[in-house]
Amino acid sequence: MTQAFVYDAVRTTFGRFDGALAKVRPDDLGATVLRALAERSPALDTAVVDEVVFGLANGAGEDNRNVGRMAALLAGYPVTVPGSTVNRLCGSSLDAAMSASRAIECGDANVVVAGGVESMTRAPWVLPKPDRAFPARDVTAVSTTLGWRLVNPAMPKEWTVSLGESNEQLQQEFGISRERQDEFAARSHRLAHEAWEAGFYDDLTVPVAELTRDEGIRPDTGTDKLAKLKPSFRPDGTITAGNASPLNDGASAVLLGSGGAAAVLGRSPVARIAGRGAAALEPQRFGYAPVEAANRALERAGIGWADVGAVELNEAFAVQSLACLDAWKVDPDIVNVRGGAIAIGHPLGASGGRILGTLTKVLREGGHRWGVAAICIGVGQGLAVVLENVG
């Protein structure tokens, strides 16, 4: 079977909700990274791209018309390059990369561009269609920015609690203190700031709307400041705006291909897709789902946690991140060493591509052979990919 490799990865700088990227359409964000990916491989004729697979969580607004295809057309890719959009909520762009790697491995494709996009700022309010024409009652507009909306009444109530309440339940289950969560969040900001200062992200990002760095990073954030924030979901809770990921806008893209694709791409691969894993739990326990997803990916790669030199775990909430690390029993010092989503941001459909690209570079710079990229997903799912460094 053909093997699938990562050749390159790039993302936009991530903007804060109603921040620097608020006026940029999501299809334009997607086009930005697709265009940048092509420009970074001058030998690449985009006509040889077999597929563009993009991830997206919302899709209720300007991104509604198959944003993967729209972004490819806006980026100037030939009309003959097919495009599709996948939705696995927060895991959408990692799912896109996994799907792309499968297509390469089974011989259906030689070069695939995967990625994802989200503008949480521009996610619209929606009105459900009424049961009959011209209702006399008021109609409520529903925000599509994040979380459950237009919930089916047949769903058990415990499944459809808010994302925050779900993670407060995880906190109770595992006894992870507010102090640990705040320390984890402060570390995320510190490491992300240090990474930007050291130039780590310079060749992994492309600026948009004059935003040259991730907008949400706060270099002065410390545990003393975080400790003063009020709980967001329960009066006596532990989750705050400071130890959870914010709402963001951004896009990411990953160039994947077979080993033989090096000839048409004009560059060498940097990592091999060595294992993939998906897992699911009760919807409210979504934050813990990466545990089994990563374990499955490692088993399929034929390695164990002792072999792993770097982990990129999307920090949806500090509490769920810590629960996963505790379950894996990994050294926290190998996790998110260049900062995580609490600082960098979590534009839902783009985050999987971000962690995959970051992991590729962390492996290369650190000289590690094996790495894991993992992400939790609303409605009780998790995804993970094992990379082998070949750069």
Q: Specify the pLDDT at position 56.
A: 98
* CA distance linking residue 99 with residue 277, whole number of Å: 12
Burial class (CB within 10 angstroms; exposed 0-12, middle 13-18, buried 19+) of 76: exposed
Q: What is the pLDDT of residues 269-292, one digit of tens each?
A: 999 999 999 999 999 999 999 999
**CB of 98 closer than 8 Å to CB of 296:** no
pLDDT higher than 90, residue 1: no
Give me the catalytic one of 90, 193, 324, 368.
90
Weakest-pLDDT range from 36-40, 135-139, 144-148 = 135-139
Catalytic residue list contains 106: no
Give me the catalytic one of 189, 193, 324, 346.
346
Angle among Cα 237, 240, 244 to the nearest 5 degrees reads 120
Q: Specify the pLDDT at position 130.
A: 87
Q: State the chain's mean pLDDT as an integer.
A: 97
Residue 198's alpha-carbon distances to 192, 275, 315, 335, in angstroms, are 10, 31, 22, 18
Q: Specify the pLDDT at position 39.
A: 97
* Tokens at 265, concatenated: 């791409």
Q: What is the pLDDT of residues 361-378, one digit of tens each?
A: 999 999 999 999 999 999
* CA distance linking residue 103 with residue 126, whole number of Å: 35
* CA distance linking residue 213 with residue 197, whole number of Å: 10
The label of the residue with tokens 């760095």 reads: 213
Catalytic residue list contains 376: yes
Q: Specify the pLDDT at position 265.
A: 96
Give me the catalytic one of 189, 193, 368, 376.
376
Q: What is the pLDDT of residues 289-308, one digit of tens each?
A: 999 999 999 999 999 999 99
Please, which residues bridge with residue 253 across strands? Answer: 10, 115
- Residue 244, C-beta contacts closer than 8 angstroms, at least 6 positions apart: 164, 167, 232, 316, 317, 318, 342
* CA distance linking residue 382 with residue 293, whole number of Å: 6
**CB of 376 closer than 8 Å to CB of 316:** yes
pLDDT higher than 90, residue 170: yes
If phi > 0 it is left, if psi is from -120 to 50 it is alpha, else beta; for residue 336 that is: left
Catalytic residue list contains 324: no
Going by DSSP bridges, is the β-strand pair 4-12/205-206 parallel, antiparallel, or unpaired?
parallel
Residue 94 sits at φ, ψ, to 5 deg, of -70, -40
* CA distance linking residue 82 with residue 67, whole number of Å: 12
Nearest C-alpha neighbor of 51 from the set 120, 131, 115: 115
